[in-house]
Amino acid sequence: MKCIICDSENTAKSIEHIVPESFGNKKYLMERSAICDNCNSRFSKFESKALSNSIFAVERARLAVPTKKGKNVKGKIGKFNVEGDKEFRKQHITLKGLEQKDLKNYGPERGTHQIRFESFDKSEVATSRFLLMLGIESIYTSKNEIYEKYDFSELKDYLTNKSNKDWGFITNQKNPLLFKNVTQGKMNKYLRSINCELKYNDEYETFISFQIRRCWNDN
Ligand SMILES: [Zn+2]
């Protein structure tokens, strides 16, 4: 079978999870060989960066989502080390590397501070690649007619590092109602059970946008 990203003929050994296992997904998978082992290992590099060195690390720790190996989340964002609770209690995050000057706006009535995380470092590039990968894989798997309709070569070049241009990945929602579910039926129900919705919008004919809403297990 041909890899959907790099077009190489392959007999991949590994199975690609469209939504990462670290978000609780065990069922929404790529067909074996749809993604070659080369692409898969390239993806896993930016995926683990996106999951451990971006805001996803904080959210996974906050919601006590276990890692693929069943351990508590560990991540690093800027100078902070983020760690989820070992007993998987929600809302328990350990932050190491905090200094007095990182604490802002003390609220005496609740005893709370705000902490400022560094942002827009290179982990955001990993996050952008990760979200776009999720988009193209879910479109290929669940909406193949859409995958056939568009030319995804620019996106594929971006995902295979052929192009070094950074892509933006967050936008305000202009028309939330125009987004349609990528998945259908059983898979829709399953993804909703792990708090994940994958949507697409193809109203503009020349490009397609993806929307990913909360993708982790917080039962
Ligand atoms: Zn490939």
DSSP state of 38: H
Residue 198 has pLDDT above 90, yes or no: yes
Residues 182-191 pLDDT 10s:
998 999 999 9
Query: 189 CA to middle of ligand 1, Å?
Result: 30
Ligand 1 centre distance from Cα of residue 42 (Å): 9
In this structure, which residues have their CB less than 5 angstroms from ion ligand 1?
3, 5-6, 36, 39
Average pLDDT, the chain: 88
Is pLDDT at 64 greater than 60 in this prediction? yes
pTM, two decimals, is 0.85
Higher pLDDT, 144 or 120: 144
- How far does residue 50's CA lie from ligand 1's centre (Å)? 20
At a CB cut-off of 8 Å and minimum separation 6, what does 136 contact? 4, 5, 147, 152, 155, 156, 159
Distance 28 CA to ligand 1 centre (A): 19
Extended strands (E) in the chain: 74-77, 80-84, 93-96, 103-107, 112-115, 180-181, 197-201, 209-213
pLDDT of amino acid 19: 93
Per-residue pLDDT reduced to its tens digit, 37-54: 999 999 999 999 999 998
Ligand 1 centre to CA of 39 (Å) is 4
